Amino acid sequence: MTAVRVERHGRVLVITMDRPQARNAMDRAMAYDIAAALDLLDVDDGLTVGVLTGAGGTFSSGMDLKAFLATGERPEVEGRGLAGLTLTPPAKPLVAAVEGWAVAGGCELALACDLVVAAEDAQFGLPEVKRGLIAGSGGLLRMARRVPPGIAMEHALTGDPLSAVEAHRWGLVNRLTPPGGALSGALALASSVAANGPLAVRTSKALVAGAVDSTGDGAWERQNALLAVVLASQDAQEGAAAFVEKRPPVWTGR
């Protein structure tokens, strides 16, 4: 059974991560299902904009650490990044509808979206440092241009969460909704986008993204060289094991 649901709402494609029992943690199968849905968004002329959300009151808790610990599996799509999104976002706009937690890889997915609608009680975060890892799917690169540098640095180094209200204050979140209303709010925003000329929308996205993108000029290459060292470390294994076993990690710095 697929862990991703895809539904059409006129010219809007809603992509729902559907592993609520695992807080929508991403395994490899889910990553490829999301990537396939994003491909559909881009190739279907009847679609103008997508919405990415999570089932069960949670956006996504990120990478499935149990799978990572057991086999080293990461929810990456070759050449396209996390869930086929973070390295190669779709040409068409994508709106994140965030309820509950968008942390680790889940936060990186939200950051890779063009617009973010979040419930007032939602939480964003890059807690990878707490697990001996780094947010290596664009989270550190994108957070630094979505919020002020000092705020980005604080949350990157502490791994502490950022509330939706604060995220809205700093500009990471476009619109806030009451709890339970993120998808409705995202659909309303997406419908406003979908009412416009599809080619103009797609071209406008490309121009705005190109004007503000700070992930180019070798940033990904520099990040990936450092990420490889971290992923191969003893601390990475220890952080994942401690999380799965619900105990404090014992760091060695190796």
Contact 34, 59 (CB under 8 A): no
- 171: pLDDT strictly greater than 90: yes
| pLDDT tens-digit readout, 148-168 | 999 999 999 999 999 999 999
Q: What confidence tens digit (pLDDT) does each residue in 10-46 have? A: 999 999 999 999 999 999 999 999 999 999 999 999 9
- In the chain, the percentage of residues whose pLDDT exceeds 70 is 91
Q: Which residue has the tokens 């690169």?
A: 141
pLDDT-based confidence at 70, cuts 50/70/90? low
Residue 79 lies in a domain: yes
Residue 188 lies in a domain: no
Q: Which of 108, 154, 166, 245 is catalytic?
A: 108
Alpha helices in the chain (DSSP H): 28-43, 65-71, 105-112, 139-146, 149-158, 164-170, 182-194, 198-212, 219-231, 234-245
Q: If we measure between CA atoms, which residue out of 183, 179, 156, 151 comes closest to residue 166? A: 151
**Residue 144 included in any domain:** yes
User: How many other CB atoms are there within 10 angstroms of residue 216's CB atom?
Assistant: 9
Number of neighbours of residue 212 by Cβ within 10 angstroms: 9
Catalytic residue among 76, 128, 221, 238: 128
228 or 88: which leads in pLDDT: 88
Write b or e for each residue in 2-13: b if 16 or more Cβ atoms lie within 10 A of its Cβ, otherwise e: ebbebeeeebbb
Report the C-alpha gap between 254 and 239 in whole angstroms.
Answer: 12
Q: Catalytic: 76?
A: no
Taking alpha carbons only, the member of 105, 158, 106 closest to residue 130 is 158
Q: pLDDT grade, residue 73 (50/70/90)?
A: confident
Whether 196 maps to a domain, the answer reads no
Identify the domain containing residue 253 by its residue range: 1-177+201-254
- Listed in sequence order, the residues at least 6 apart from 139 whose beta carbon sits closer than 8 Å to its beta carbon are 104, 105, 107, 108, 111, 126, 128
Q: What is the pLDDT of residue 104?
A: 94
Whole-angstrom Cα distance, residue 75 to residue 137? Answer: 10
Residue 49 to residue 45: CA distance in whole angstroms: 11
Q: What is the DSSP letter of 119?
A: E
Structure confidence at residue 196 as a pLDDT band (50, 70, 90): very high
The count of domains in the chain is: 1
Domain annotation covers residue 245: yes
**Given pLDDT bands bounded at 50, 70 and 90, which one contains residue 253?**
low
pTM over the 0.75 mark = yes
Write the pLDDT tens digit of every residue in 115-151.
Answer: 999 999 999 999 999 988 888 888 999 999 899 999 9
Given pLDDT bands bounded at 50, 70 and 90, which one contains residue 217? Answer: low
- Examine residue 163 and state whether it is found in any structural domain, yes or no: yes
191 domain residue, yes or no: no
Upper half-sphere CA count for residue 162 (Cβ side, 13 Å)? 32
CATH number at residue 43: 3.90.226.10
pLDDT score at 213: 62
Is 108 known to be catalytic? Answer: yes
